[in-house]
Amino acid sequence: MSAVFTPPSSCSSHWTSESQAANSVTGGLLIQNAGAGRNDEPCYPPGFGGWGIAPSFIQIFSPGVCPSEYTTANNNYDGHTTTAVCYLSKFGYTNFISSVNAGGKTAQFYGCTSIFTNADPTTVFAEGDDDGVTSSGMLTTVSGLITMWAQPIAVAFQQHDLSLFTTSQSRRLKLRHLSLAQALHL
């Protein structure tokens, strides 16, 4: 039997400040689990690598389903395989194409986004020298309204994969699989 992948609760508190100069987002970004030596591998399914806002490839966890504290976006069923993009439940799903900071090429940017609204200074990891941000070594202090950006998890499963999960998980997935299939074929 397989268990549904669930990231540790510590993943929700690992954020790195990236300056506006690095991403052209007003006020910069707080990127989840980002930066050299700060990739928190247990925060993603086995075999996932990379981080950031424009990965060079899309990774798919299969057979897999969205973690319990995630919501689904872009559900699809092609007659054989159910796919979905999973994003943090209290976040939105953002997806756009841009050439800003993509090395002169067009890139697909996608992520789980929210707005950090803490007026009190909060210490996070720093991604180099940020203009207007107080830095101390690899840490920095941020406050105010800042866009938070986390990596979504793409998943896929087929009907025969349901046997890999526990009976209650399989029953729930089968209902989702059938409902999605029925909805897409109407």
In a domain, 2, yes or no: no
In a domain, 126, yes or no: yes
Number of domains in the chain: 1
In a domain, 3, yes or no: no
Percent of the chain at pLDDT exceeding 70: 68
In a domain, 77, yes or no: yes
3-state secondary structure 24-53: CCCCCEEEECCCCCCCCHHHCCCCCCCCCC
**How high is the pLDDT of residue 102?**
60
| Interval 41-100: pLDDT, tens | 677 887 776 555 655 566 788 888 888 788 888 888 888 888 888 888 889 988 777 766
**How high is the pLDDT of residue 169?**
54
In a domain, 95, yes or no: yes
Task: Residue 146: give the domain boundaries.
Answer: 9-184
In a domain, 178, yes or no: yes
Predicted confidence (pLDDT) at residue 133 exceeds the cutoff of 50: no
Cβ 108 vs Cβ 83: under 8 Å: no
What DSSP designation does 165 have? B
Check: pTM over 0.75? Answer yes or no. no
